[in-house]
Amino acid sequence: MFKTTLAGLLAHKLRLLLTSLAITLGVGFIAGTFVLTDTINAGFAQKFTADAAKISVAVLSKGEDHKVAAAELEKVRAVKGVAEAQGIVSGTAALIGKNGKVAGDFPTAGISIPEGALNRTLITKGAAPKSAAEAVLDENTAKTRGFTVGDTITVLDSASAKQRFTLVGLFDVGVNQELAYTGAVGFTTDTARRMTGEKSFKEIDVLAADGVSPTDLRASVAAALGSAYEVKTGEKLAHDLAAANNMDTQFLTMGLLMFGMIAMFVAALVIYNTFNILVAQRAREMALLRCIGATKKQIFGSIVLESGVVGVISSVLGLLIGLGLGAGAMAVLGALDAPVPVGVGVSLTTRTILVGLVTGIVVTVAAALLPARAATRVAPIAALRSQVEESTVRTGVVRAVFGALFLLAGTGATVAGVSMEPGQSALVVVMASGAIFFLGVLVLGPLIIRPLGAFVGWVPAKIFGVPGRLAVTNSRRNPKRAATTTVALTIGVTLMTLISVITATTRETAGERLDKQFPVDYMIATQQRDSTIPRTLASDLRARPELASVVAIREAEAKVNGRRAEVGTFTADPAFTLTATKGSVKDLGPGTAGVSDGFAKNENVKVGDTVKVAGRDFRVVALLSDDTAPVYGVTIPERDFDSAFPKVADKQLLVNAKDGVTADRSRQIVEAAAQPYPTVLVASSREVRGAFDDALDQILMIITGLLGLAILISLLGIANTLSLSVHERTRESALLRALGLTRPQLRRMLSIEALVLGLIGALVGVALGVSFGWAATQTMMDDITFRAPVGQILSFVALSGLAGVVAAVLPARRAARASIVGSLASS
Amino acid sequence: MTMTTDVRQAVTARGLTKVYGQGDAAVHALRGIEVGFATGAFTAIMGPSGSGKSTLMHCLAGLDTVSGGEIHIGDVEITKLTDKQLTLLRRERIGFVFQAFNLLPTLTAEQNIRLPLEIAGRQADQVLFDRVIDTVGLGDRLGHRPTQLSGGQQQRVAVARALISKPQVIFADEPTGNLDSRSGAEVLSFLRRSVRELGQTIVMVTHDPVAASYADRVIFLRDGLLVNELHQPTAQTVLDTLLKLEA
């Protein structure tokens, strides 16, 4: 039996390869995920170890504040056995770009570059700063801001005063995510402390004298400092950093694995279908084996063995592909300047190999179990029958009932989820009910494929004449097979549609919310959260005739009902309205206050109550929606605010241009006015929206790319089913050719069949995706603006049909090429 | 072999050769066949296994290419046609009945019968259709699919399909090979009636002397050569001739 199976497999190498490909891709993705994250982890660990090897002992704070008092440095230096000790400074020091404005959305970090053996920063060009007039920049910031070694750079110190430095070198931020995000300027330790205003260190690094072991030194340093600080050896530090980093990459692993699992599920469907067809086609072969004495068990075993071989081959190939994918992803990340370690070898761990092999083999064999059982049902007498029976689907009352039950349960749970309070649990309910509903579709598939085929095939049958009509009948002739083939595609299309519906709805809803929140042309704010805009800017802007309104928002911290809370105000202007959830904003006059919803709930404040703000009583006239309230706390009229906090500068300015003033002109005016204040940034509402749209587009693109794999696998399934069907219908095709069907007509017939299959899969997917996309968005937040991106969804349908046609190219060519005489003879 | 030129020929072959493979492995299936098939006649081709009878039929019908010689169907020399032209010719002028698997399982009997016309984009002649259906006696079975029909019924549908497009010639390849004798007799008498009543030209390959006895004329092949022929054959004369060939 074993030999027969292997001989059978070897006789059909191409078929074996096609079948394996689905699993290969799935395993490749999963293995690739592990290879990627393992490589990143290994790279980080390597980097941390290399860094930590430079230091013997590190002193860190025990709390979250990352502060080690400066005075401790001298204590450490005095410990016996310490060769050298350096305090590491880390704070903010905003770099001014060439346009005179602070660079980036966040201020650049200001860090110290210690001299000597304890320097852990890699200077890639030029030299480390040696004097108070020198500084270095991280490579990426230097590149994006256009600075080169030798330039003079301007950096704001902690008092926002401009300081000038000579740029003497560039450095690599390595794997420090924070520095990679904000960019960083490096100074000598003293200058760094002056620039950032940090009075303490983030860390004290210690180098042991010759002959002193790090463990001993750790003990003596710890003894000198007392219990307030954590003292670690360099080795322990590297270990802890690597562990923390592994936690981060675990999210990446889990996220990617989810898509890997979807791909594997689709691959399992493809394998299931392939084996089902193979068993059906080889019914006579099985019957012959049974005739000459093979037991049912042996038949079952031979199919399972065959799937096992397919599983092994595809998993091994998948591991190789995974290795390539992992390496490729690393190269792409490296090229995109992502803060990942570069130049480390790709790591293929035992776990990756095990997980890849086990997943691949188990999924393949499991998917082949049902077909293997079907093979044992072939009666020996079937060997003597000349014609293979056409499969007919039993009406399947049980199937219909079960399917309907699943659909009902899914619908019921969805309704329940949608009517729940928006939130995570509602979303989970909707997603789970989506899965149940999908199961229902899976069960009902063979029953709904005929009507769907008739519906989808109506137009092709009309347009393409005989080949069209034959194709549509063919697509419906084996409903079970067609259903499994299309469901594989349905999964991918459903998820794609779901994601595009959710992003479109989010975009639309957020857009509307932005319009409500900032119904303005320009928003002026500072880069740093705790800095303010001098009031002169608002008055300068108000003096410009081209501008219609300038609303200033101010905030301060004060005692509200005895507790510290935020107090805010805004310039009353028709252009800026707040949304009241209770009471009315119109009543907000002298001596009254509006309270934000969240704060009111926490503090148990209602309309009509009195709140004491900075020693004065205010009557609450409105509760404000959290979206539009200037502060999370109490909002009082401008005049009252100014008398309570006369010195508080503006936090934010909202500017509207007059009608008829061009965008270029108004922008020029606003920017010119803001020019003297380097930390003040001007953003137009269009830019805010653009940045948001870009972020959404990026998410959509990444998810689409990841789902693409599942879709690719399902297309392999269509190609596989078609080529097996073509094989099955060799004589039928020959008959048609003999009766006068031309080769192109025969090819067209198969293409249309694939088109119909693709369209059925896509239509079901789109219907599911839109419905559950709607349900999911209902659970995400209140009053959303639902939006289905019609163009995008139509393109999914069109692409699925097209992809089906592409999948049919090779099978169709083979069918058209076959000689009529030869095909008629073969049985 | 003499050729009568006064009878109009539906199909003629001159110097027909067919070689499979090359060099030492070459198999000469047809070694120079000269034959004509008269319009409105029922001709049977016989011969022992490997005599080349099926190859001859496939070549005559334009299903297979020839190695040498020429074939005319009516006034068209089909040995010069491209695959596309051959396909169109088959559509317009040739009908087929095969031993088995004559019908598309997804179509009903009626749809199968109309299929060649639909492929050619022609309308069925309703009078002819009714007459054909009536002759084959399938009236109540037109809506059935092939799996719901007996073997004999399936072959009758295949014959009806071949007749409906009024082809210049029908090629039948062992049409009774898979049938019991009663169903076989039904199909054969139906074929003969279509020659008598509809003036159809039929060329049939068979190894069954009884089947051959339904024909007007039988030609015998051996080793790729035409070796004998009988007119107005009986099962006995056919069998005698065959036995002589085998000897």
The interface pTM score, or ipTM, of the predicted complex is 0.82
Looking at chain A from residue 367 to 396, which residues have their Cβ under 8 Å from any Cβ of chain B?
Answer: 386-387, 389-390
Nearest-CA distance B2 → chain A (Å): 30
* Mutate: best of B88, B115, B159, partner A, most A CBs <10 A: B115
Chain B contact set for A738 (CB, 8 A): 61, 63, 90, 96, 98
Which is more confident, A436 or A691?
A436
Report how many helices (DSSP H) and strands (DSSP E) chain A contains, helices first: 24, 24
The token duo for B90 is 């088959």
Chain B contact set for A477 (CB, 8 A): 105-106
* Residue A383 pLDDT exceeds 70: no
> pLDDT band at residue B3, thresholds of 50, 70 and 90?
very low
Mean pLDDT score of chain A: 84
Nearest-by-CA chain A residue for B119: A466
Nearest-CA distance B77 → chain A (Å): 18
Rounded-to-integer distance, Cα B50 and Cα A231, Å: 96
**CA dist list (Å): A204 to A122, A495, B194:** 19, 50, 108
Q: What is the pLDDT of residues A536-550, one digit of tens each?
A: 888 888 888 888 888
Per-residue confidence (pLDDT) for residue B5, from 0 to 100: 45
Is the CB of A740 inside 8 Å of chain B's CB atoms?
yes
Q: Among B58, B84, B116, whose Cβ lies nearest the Cβ of A739?
A: B116
* Residue B116 pLDDT exceeds 90: no
Nearest-CA distance B142 → chain A (Å): 18
Chain A contact set for B92 (CB, 8 A): 740
Chain A contact set for B119 (CB, 8 A): 466, 736, 739-741, 745
Per-residue confidence (pLDDT) for residue A394, from 0 to 100: 58
* Residue A297 pLDDT exceeds 90: no
Nearest-by-CA chain B residue for A472: B106
* Residue A361 pLDDT exceeds 90: yes
Nearest-CA distance B163 → chain A (Å): 12
> pLDDT band at residue A643, thresholds of 50, 70 and 90?
confident
> pLDDT band at residue A197, thresholds of 50, 70 and 90?
confident
Per-residue confidence (pLDDT) for residue A53, from 0 to 100: 80
Which is more confident, A341 or B186?
B186
The count of CB pairs under 8 A between chains A and B is 68
Which is more confident, B23 or A30?
A30
Nearest-by-CA chain B residue for A473: B106
Nearest-by-CA chain B residue for A385: B178
Chain B contact set for A742 (CB, 8 A): 84, 87-88
The token duo for A628 is 């539009």
The average pLDDT across A189-193 equals 89
Contact B147 A389 (CB under 8 A): yes
Chain B contact set for A474 (CB, 8 A): 106
The average pLDDT across A687-702 equals 81
Q: What is the pLDDT of residues B48-105, one digit of tens each?
A: 888 888 889 989 988 888 899 999 998 889 988 888 888 888 888 898 888 876 788 8
> pLDDT band at residue A342, thresholds of 50, 70 and 90?
low
The average pLDDT across A494-506 equals 89
Nearest-CA distance B209 → chain A (Å): 23
The average pLDDT across A460-477 equals 84
Is A294:A303 a contact under the CB 8 Å cutoff? no
CB atoms within 10 A of CB A822: 12
Nearest-by-CA chain A residue for B118: A466
Nearest-by-CA chain A residue for B84: A742
Is A338:A357 a contact under the CB 8 Å cutoff? no
The average pLDDT across B183-200 equals 89
* Residue B6 pLDDT exceeds 50: no
In chain B, helix, strand, coil percent, each to 5?
40, 25, 35
Is the CB of A824 inside 8 Å of chain B's CB atoms?
yes
Nearest-CA distance B6 → chain A (Å): 31
Q: Among A732, A736, A740, whose Cβ lies nearest the Cβ of B88?
A: A740
Contact B90 A740 (CB under 8 A): yes
Q: Among A386, A477, A739, whose Cβ lies nearest the Cβ of B119?
A: A739
Contact B115 A466 (CB under 8 A): yes
Rounded-to-integer distance, Cα B158 and Cα A744, Å: 25
Nearest-by-CA chain A residue for B162: A739
Nearest-CA distance A740 → chain B (Å): 4
Per-residue confidence (pLDDT) for residue B45, from 0 to 100: 94
Helix (H, G, I), strand (E, B) or coil at A147: coil
Mean pLDDT score of chain B: 87
Is A611:A591 a contact under the CB 8 Å cutoff? no
The fold of the B40-62+81-246 domain, in CATH, is: Rossmann fold (3.40.50)
> pLDDT band at residue B210, thresholds of 50, 70 and 90?
very high
Per-residue confidence (pLDDT) for residue B2, from 0 to 100: 43
Q: Spell out a b/e string for A263-295, using b for 16 or more CB atoms within 10 Å of the CB, else e.
A: bbbbbbbbbbbbbbbbbbebbbbbbbbbeeebe
Per-residue confidence (pLDDT) for residue B172, from 0 to 100: 92
Q: Among A470, A731, A819, whose Cβ lies nearest the Cβ of B101?
A: A731
Contact B105 A477 (CB under 8 A): yes
Q: What is the pLDDT of residues A58-111, one digit of tens each?
A: 888 887 777 888 888 888 888 888 888 888 888 888 888 888 888 877 888 899
* Residue A491 pLDDT exceeds 60: yes
Per-residue confidence (pLDDT) for residue A579, from 0 to 100: 77
Chain A contact set for B174 (CB, 8 A): none
* Residue A168 pLDDT exceeds 90: yes
Rounded-to-integer distance, Cα B45 and Cα B53, Å: 6
Chain A contact set for B83 (CB, 8 A): 743
Contact A743 B83 (CB under 8 A): yes
Nearest-CA distance A744 → chain B (Å): 9
Looking at chain A from residue 209 to 248, which residues have their Cβ under 8 Å from any Cβ of chain B?
Answer: none
Least confident of A406-415, A696-705, A794-803, B227-236: A696-705
Is A316:A23 a contact under the CB 8 Å cutoff? no
The average pLDDT across A137-161 equals 88
Which is more confident, A805 or A53?
A805
Chain B contact set for A475 (CB, 8 A): none
Rounded-to-integer distance, Cα A518 and Cα A577, Å: 9
Is the CB of A466 inside 8 Å of chain B's CB atoms?
yes
Rounded-to-integer distance, Cα A535 and Cα A557, Å: 18
Rounded-to-integer distance, Cα B145 and Cα A450, Å: 17
* Residue A14 pLDDT exceeds 80: no
Nearest-CA distance B3 → chain A (Å): 29
| Per-residue DSSP letter, A554 | E
Q: What is the pLDDT of residues A545-578, one digit of tens each?
A: 888 888 888 888 888 888 888 888 888 887 777 7
* Residue A416 pLDDT exceeds 60: yes
| SS3 sequence of A497-517 | HHHHHHHHHHHHHHHHHHHHH
Contact B147 A390 (CB under 8 A): yes
Is A552:A697 a contact under the CB 8 Å cutoff? no
Contact B115 A739 (CB under 8 A): yes
Helix (H, G, I), strand (E, B) or coil at A593: strand
Is the CB of B102 inside 8 Å of chain A's CB atoms?
yes
Is the CB of A826 inside 8 Å of chain B's CB atoms?
no
> pLDDT band at residue B201, thresholds of 50, 70 and 90?
very high
Chain B contact set for A740 (CB, 8 A): 87-88, 90-92, 116, 119-120
Is the CB of A470 inside 8 Å of chain B's CB atoms?
yes
For A543, the enclosing helix (H) or strand (E) is: none
Looking at chain B from residue 73 to 92, which residues have their Cβ under 8 Å from any Cβ of chain A?
Answer: 83-84, 87-88, 90-92
Q: What is the pLDDT of residues A269-291, one digit of tens each?
A: 888 888 888 887 777 777 777 77
Beta bridge partners, A152, equal A166
